[in-house]
């Protein structure tokens, strides 16, 4: 059971049009990738950004709520049982949604909030654009879950070169 104050704080957290989500959408537009849908109800889990024609779904995950594997965040010290259960439910829901999308033939891209910070954002957005374009090509469309922002600069350059030579 949560306190009334905690309930109000949690209700104040936005689920749509968050800062990381706006960065992703601006990055997609800058790279010429338009025609996406936001929180599309027809896709399992209502991904933050969807390219239905390419069968690409993008989830922009906040590090705290979705328990980023890169940030090593601690659990809040009060009401530990509540927070442990809350985070477990969030992770289970994320896994379920990604599996449903992959089973339906979608490429799922997961972008972590920390990968959109200064110094990393441009490389992360470049990688995301590359993966969206690649997924739109029937020859390279493989339903899978991919984390965006994990590719090194060298890997990104090699992948861009391969894509350009086609």
The architecture (CATH level 2) of 4-165 comes to 3-Layer(aba) Sandwich (3.40)
Segment 13-68, tens digit of pLDDT = 556 778 999 999 999 999 999 999 999 999 999 999 999 999 999 999 999 888 99
Q: Retrieve residue 91's tokens.
A: 């992770």
| pTM greater than 0.85 | no
| pLDDT band (50, 70, 90) for residue 152 | low
Identify whether the C-beta of residue 99 lies closer than 8 Å to the C-beta of residue 105: no
pLDDT tens by residue, 112-150: 999 999 888 999 999 999 999 999 888 889 999 999 986
In whole angstroms, give the CA distance from residue 110 to residue 162.
23
Residues 58, 48 contacting (CB under 8 angstroms): yes
The structural domains of the chain, with segments of one domain joined by +, span 4-165
How crowded is residue 24: how many other Cβ atoms within 10 Å of its Cβ?
25
Residue where the block lists tokens 């940030």: 71
């Amino acid at each position: 059971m949560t306190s009334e104050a905690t309930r109000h704080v949690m209700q104040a957290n936005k689920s749509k049009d968050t800062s990381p989500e706006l960065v992703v959408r601006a990055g997609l537009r800058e790279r010429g990738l338009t025609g996406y849908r936001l929180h599309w109800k027809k896709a399992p889990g209502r991904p933050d950004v969807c390219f239905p024609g390419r069968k690409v779904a993008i989830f922009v995950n906040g590090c705290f709520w979705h328990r980023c594997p890169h940030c090593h965040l601690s659990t809040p010290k009060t009401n530990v049982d509540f927070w442990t259960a809350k985070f477990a439910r969030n992770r289970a829901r994320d896994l379920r949604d990604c599996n449903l999308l992959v089973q339906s033939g979608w490429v799922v891209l997961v972008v972590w909030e920390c990968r959109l910070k200064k110094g990393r954002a441009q490389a992360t957005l470049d990688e995301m654009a590359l993966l969206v374009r690649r997924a739109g090509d029937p020859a390279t469309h493989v339903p899978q879950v991919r984390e965006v922002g994990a590719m090194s600069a060298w890997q990104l350059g090699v992948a861009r070169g391969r894509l350009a030579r086609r």
